[in-house]
Amino acid sequence: MKTLNDFNFKDKKALIRVDFNVPLNDQFEVTDATRIVSAKPTIIKILEDGGSCVLMSHLGRPKGVQDEFSLKHIVPKIEDILGVEVKFTDNCVGAEAEAMAAALQPGEILLLENLRFHEEEKQGDKDFAEQLSKLGDIYVNDAFGTAHRAHASTTIVAEFFPEHKCFGSLLAQEIESIKKVMEDGEKPVLAVLGGAKVSSKITVIENILDKVDHLIIGGGMTFTFIKAQGGKIGNSICEDDKMELALDILKQAEAKGVKVHLPVDVVAADDFSNTANTQFCDVTAIPDGWEGVDAGPKSIEIFDTVVNQCKTILWNGPLGVFEMESFAKGTIELGNSIANATKNGAFSLVGGGDSVAAVKQFGFENKVSYVSTGGGAMLESLEGKTLPGIAAILD
């Protein structure tokens, strides 16, 4: 696995695929700069080596060229974070981009306009990738968030750098963290899978059963399992067509020696709203007209014991409807348990969409070992897939 340390960037131009797909407000100001901050170590290392950086990214889902999706809006924020002036070219390929890249001096940074202004980017077009490749001597992929896409800038462009391509430090860290859980995690290994639906996590669950000793299933997924086992779930979210699958997962887990922990009690609400009436009930005895929206106190206690027994912990998906304050306790308490286990030496990885949002919202970001920057990319990794953007560097 080639990383930044395998190259000396002195007098070299690094063509870096970053993930600067950041949220903007209606004044076009960056409202969450995490992704820019995450790319900083790679950029600074190359500049300190005496190299220069050509940065390329997408922003949003433009249809053709649309000013609101221009990366020019984020130039000031990047300059702020890096403390270096950032030049900008309003087309990511073509004569001007090539001339500006050629003129780049050691220590300088050039940001290319939104890659997705060209439909060839998402098509993984080879000619487009070749044009991009003219802008650098060494290709660095540091965009985990798009590593599961075989786009021109994330995958195809690597073909033009057979000997001169590597992972940036962020992507290398993501790969190491997943490996720590999926391959060489210290036992006991625990996965906590929450979120809304069994159907979106099924491949993850099946793949993960070979890697873990304990599996906590929480969130909306719970109720498909409970109903399949004959429990009364009231109006809780449930995928009836996945009940057989749920029973099969439990059987597979048993055969593989994986201990599955489902909630034993829940917070039930009489409405899907923050101001609903609530009661605690046994997970198998939820009255009609009520739905399970969070883990109950007994479940929280059981999960805390399991989490604190484990040395390697993966967390994907909230334990309840954490977006509503009244139903956030289970997710917050799980975060506390994982933070405590981490403090006592466990390795904890949080990844995949909503659990990352929860971790940030409740301030656990620095209390877990690693928070992944990729939603879909993380899920596909947990499903056991080799991501095209990663394979392209390993080739």
Q: CA 324 to CA 152: how far, in whole Å?
A: 40
Q: Which is nearer to ligand AMP, 52 or 222 (CB)?
A: 222
Does residue 231 touch ligand AMP according to CB under 6 A? Answer: no
Q: CA 295 to CA 181: how far, in whole Å?
A: 25
Q: Which is nearer to ligand AMP, 296 or 320 (CB)?
A: 320
- The minimum distance between CB 224 and ligand AMP, in angstroms, equals 11
314, 349 Cβ separation under 8 angstroms: yes
The reply to whether 353 sits in an annotated binding site is yes
Looking at residue 289, what DSSP letter applies? T
353 annotated active-site: yes
- The minimum distance between CB 251 and ligand AMP, in angstroms, equals 23
- The minimum distance between CB 324 and ligand AMP, in angstroms, equals 8
Comparing CA positions, the residue from 311, 304, 321, 309 lying closest to residue 223 is 321
- The minimum distance between CB 85 and ligand AMP, in angstroms, equals 39
The reply to whether 195 sits in an annotated binding site is no
Binding residue for ligand AMP, selected from 200, 284, 326, 361, defined by CB under 6 A: 200
- The minimum distance between CB 27 and ligand AMP, in angstroms, equals 28
Site for ligand AMP in 281-320 (CB under 6 A): 292-293, 317-318, 320
389 annotated active-site: no
Which ranges of the chain would DSSP assign to H, the alpha helix? 34-49, 75-82, 95-102, 120-123, 126-133, 169-182, 202-208, 222-228, 243-256, 297-309, 329-343, 354-361, 376-382, 388-394
Binding residue for ligand AMP, selected from 51, 136, 145, 195, defined by CB under 6 A: 195
Q: CA 288 to CA 193: how far, in whole Å?
A: 26
332, 359 Cβ separation under 8 angstroms: no
Q: Which two tokens stand for residue 331?
A: 């997710």
Using DSSP's 3-state secondary structure scheme, residue 293 falls into strand
The reply to whether 362 sits in an annotated binding site is no
Q: What is the number of other CB atoms lying within 10 angstroms of the CB of residue 297? A: 14
Does residue 233 touch ligand AMP according to CB under 6 A? Answer: no
The reply to whether 151 sits in an annotated binding site is no
Amino acid at 353: G
One of 197, 232, 311, 360 is an active-site residue; which one? Answer: 197
Alpha carbon distances (Å) from 263 to 51, 179, 295: 53, 28, 6
One of 12, 13, 17, 35 is an active-site residue; which one? Answer: 35
Q: Which is nearer to ligand AMP, 29 or 325 (CB)?
A: 325
17 annotated active-site: no
Q: Which is nearer to ligand AMP, 19 or 354 (CB)?
A: 354
Does residue 136 touch ligand AMP according to CB under 6 A? Answer: no
13 annotated active-site: no
Contacts of 338 (CB under 8 A, 6+ apart): 192, 307, 313, 315, 346, 348, 350, 364, 367, 368
Using DSSP's 3-state secondary structure scheme, residue 351 falls into coil
132, 15 Cβ separation under 8 angstroms: yes
The reply to whether 20 sits in an annotated binding site is yes
Does residue 202 touch ligand AMP according to CB under 6 A? Answer: no
Q: What is the size of the binding site for ligand AMP (CB under 6 A)?
A: 16
HSE of 68 in the Cβ direction (CA atoms, 13 Å)? 9
Question: Active-site residues: which are they?
Answer: 35, 197, 353, 376
Q: Which residues bind ligand AMP (CB under 6 A)?
A: 195-197, 200, 219-220, 237, 292-293, 317-318, 320-321, 323, 353-354
| Annotated binding-site residue numbers for substrate | 19-21, 35, 58-61, 116, 149
| Annotated binding-site residue numbers for ATP | 201, 292, 323, 352-355
